[in-house]
C-alpha cells in the first residue's frame, strides 16, 4: 500500500499539497493538481482511513444495537439504518445485545474506543447514568430508555387502543391481552392502550392479561393456559406479531377456530404475519421508516452538533387480514 508520502515524492510536491488535492481544500494550482491526480492513479493510492480517524477523532462508523437480529422485527430496521448511513459514507456496525445490559455496556465501551461517531439503541436497560457522560450522539429507537435520549417511536398506546377498539366493533365481548415484557416501554404502552379500552367493561378481569416476552414459544404456552382457564374469550390483542404466531398455534392445538371462534389482532406488521394461516390482522408500524428517521436524525446530530432535534412519534396503521372475524352489521 502506498502512502501519501509516496505520492508526494513521485509528484515532486509536499504531503500537504497531496492532502489538499485529496480533500479539495485550500489552494492548489491546476497543473499541480493534475500531476498529483496522475500519480494517485498510477500508484492506486487510497488514503488510510485509520490515520484520518486518529487525527480527526471520528471514524465514519455508526452502530445499531438490537436485542437479536434473528427476531424478524429487526432486520427491516437494520436494513433501513444501513441504507441511510451507507449512503452518507458511514460504515454500519451491528450489535446483538440479548437485552443484556452487561453486553450493551461492553459493546458501547469497545465502540467508544474505536471513535464511533454515533449509536442507535433498541434497548430497555440502558439507564441515564450509563450514558450521561458519553459525548457521542445516541438515539433511542422503537423504545424509550430510562434516560432523556432522543427517541423515534410509534404511538403504541393509541395504536393498541385502536386495535382493541376495532375488536370491540367486530363484536368481541371478552378480549384478552398477551403482553410483551414489562421491561420494554413499547410493551407497557400497548398494555396501557388495551387497559384504556377494556378496564371499564363489566367483563374485564385481570386474569385476561398474560405476560409474554415477545417470543413465539412463551406466547404459545401462556395462551394455552389462558384459553383453558377462560374458554369464553373471543378476542386476543397480542403485543406483537411474533407472539401472535404462538397464539395461533395455541388456538390450533386446542381446536379453537380463528377467526370464527376467536379473533386475534397483533402489533408490528412484519412480513411474517402475511404468511401465517390465517394471515394476521395487525397494527402495522412503519418499520423501515422509523429506522430511516432514526438514522437521519443521528447523522444530523453528528454532522451539525448545534441543531436542536426533537423526538418523533410515528403513526401506526391497521391492516385487516384473516385472523379477525368479519364485521357483522347486525348481531
Partner DNA sequence: TAGTGTTATGTAACCCGTTACATAAACGCG
Partner DNA sequence: CGCGTTTATGTAACGGGTTACATAACACTA
Tell me, letter by letter, the H, E, C secondary structure of 180-223.
CCCCCHHHHHHHHHHHHHHCCCCCCCHHHEEECCCCHHHHHHHH
How many residues sit close enough to DNA to count as binding (CB under 7 A)? Answer: 32
How far is it, in rounded angstroms, from Cα 141 to Cα 204?
A: 33
- The Cα-based distances of 210 to 27, 134, 224 in angstroms read 69, 38, 11
Map residue 318 onto helix, strand or coil.
strand
Q: Does 315 bind its own copies (CB under 8 A)?
A: no
CB of 235 to DNA, least distance (A): 59
Our finding on whether 322 is near its own copies (CB under 8 A) is no
Please state the separation of Cα 223 from the chain's center in Å: 26
Q: Which residue, 164 or 216, has its beta carbon nearer to its own copies? A: 216
E strands in 30-171 = 61-66, 91-96, 118-121, 138-141, 150-154
CB 244 within 8 A of CB 266: yes
Torsion sign (Cα): 102, 106, 179, 221: negative
Check residue 51 for interaction with its own copies (CB under 8 A): yes
d(CA 50, CA 56): 10
- Which of the choices its own copies, DNA, none does residue 231 contact, using the CB cut-off of 5 to 8 A by kind? none
Those residues whose C-beta lies under 8 Å from the C-beta of residue 246, and which sit 6 or more positions away, are: 212, 215, 216, 217, 218, 219, 220, 221, 223
Piece of 43-51, 156-164, 170-178, 205-213 that binds its own copies (CB under 8 A): 43-51
Write down the least CB distance from residue 54 to DNA, Å.
4
* Contact characters 53-92, DNA, x per CB under 7 A: -xxxx-----------------------------------
Q: What are the cell numbers at 21?
A: 488535492
**Based on CB atoms, which residue is closest to DNA, 13 or 264?**
13
Asked if residue 25 binds DNA (CB under 7 A), the reply is yes
Q: Residue 65's binding partner, choosing from its own copies, DNA, none, with beta-carbon cut-off 5 to 8 A by kind?
A: none
Residue 86 CB, shortest distance to DNA, in Å, is 20
Residue 75 or 171 having the CB closest to its own copies: 75
Per-residue binding string, its own copies, 81-100, x by CB under 8 A, is -xx--x--x-xxxxxx----
Q: What are the beta bridge partners of residue 92?
A: 62
270's CB contacts (< 8 A; 6+ apart) are: 72, 73, 76, 241, 242, 287
Find the shortest distance in angstroms from Cβ 258 to its own copies. 11
Task: State the number of binding residues for its own copies (CB under 8 A).
Answer: 43
Alpha-carbon distance 223 to 73, whole Å? 21
277 binds, among DNA, its own copies, none (CB under 5 to 8 A by kind): its own copies
Q: For binding to DNA (CB under 7 A), which residues are involved?
A: 1, 3-5, 12-17, 19-20, 22-23, 25-32, 45-48, 51-52, 54-57
Q: Footprint of its own copies on this chain (CB under 8 A)?
A: 46-51, 53-54, 59, 61, 68-70, 72, 74-76, 78-79, 82-83, 86, 89, 91-96, 109-115, 216, 245, 271-272, 275-277
Amino acid at each position: 500500500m502506498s502512502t501519501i508520502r509516496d505520492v508526494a515524492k513521485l509528484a515532486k510536491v509536499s504531503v500537504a499539497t497531496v492532502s489538499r488535492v485529496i480533500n479539495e481544500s485550500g489552494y492548489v494550482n491546476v497543473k499541480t493538481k493534475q500531476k498529483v491526480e496522475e500519480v494517485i492513479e498510477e500508484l492506486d493510492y487510497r488514503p488510510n482511513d485509520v490515520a484520518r480517524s486518529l487525527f480527526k477523532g471520528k471514524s465514519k462508523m455508526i452502530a445499531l444495537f438490537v436485542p437479536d437480529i434473528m427476531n424478524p422485527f429487526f432486520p427491516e430496521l437494520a436494513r433501513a439504518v444501513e441504507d441511510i448511513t451507507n449512503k452518507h459514507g458511514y460504515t454500519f456496525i451491528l450489535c446483538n445485545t440479548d437485552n443484556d445490559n452487561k453486553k450493551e455496556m461492553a459493546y458501547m465501551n469497545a465502540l467508544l474506543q474505536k471513535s464511533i461517531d454515533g449509536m442507535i439503541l433498541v434497548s430497555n436497560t440502558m439507564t441515564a447514568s450509563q450514558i450521561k457522560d458519553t459525548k457521542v450522539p445516541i438515539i433511542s429507537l422503537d423504545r424509550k430508555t430510562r434516560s432523556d435520549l432522543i427517541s423515534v417511536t410509534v404511538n403504541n398506546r393509541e395504536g393498541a387502543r385502536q386495535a382493541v377498539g376495532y375488536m370491540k366493533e367486530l363484536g368481541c365481548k371478552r378480549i384478552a391481552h398477551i403482553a410483551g415484557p414489562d421491561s420494554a416501554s413499547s410493551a407497557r404502552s400497548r398494555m396501557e392502550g388495551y387497559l384504556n379500552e377494556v378496564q371499564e367493561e363489566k367483563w374485564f378481569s385481570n386474569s385476561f392479561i398474560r405476560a409474554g416476552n415477545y417470543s413465539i414459544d412463551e406466547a404459545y404456552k401462556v395462551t394455552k393456559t389462558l384459553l383453558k382457564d377462560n374458554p369464553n374469550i373471543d378476542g386476543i390483542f397480542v403485543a406483537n406479531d411474533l407472539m401472535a404466531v404462538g397464539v395461533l398455534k395455541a388456538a390450533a392445538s386446542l381446536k379453537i377456530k380463528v377467526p370464527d371462534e376467536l379473533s386475534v389482532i397483533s402489533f408490528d406488521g412484519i412480513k411474517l404475519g402475511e404468511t401465517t394461516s390465517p394471515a394476521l390482522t395487525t397494527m402495522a408500524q412503519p418499520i423501515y421508516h422509523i429506522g430511516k428517521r432514526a438514522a437521519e436524525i443521528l447523522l444530523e446530530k453528528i454532522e451539525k452538533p448545534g441543531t436542536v432535534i426533537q423526538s418523533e412519534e410515528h403513526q401506526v396503521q391497521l391492516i385487516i387480514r384473516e385472523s379477525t372475524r368479519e364485521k357483522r352489521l347486525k348481531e
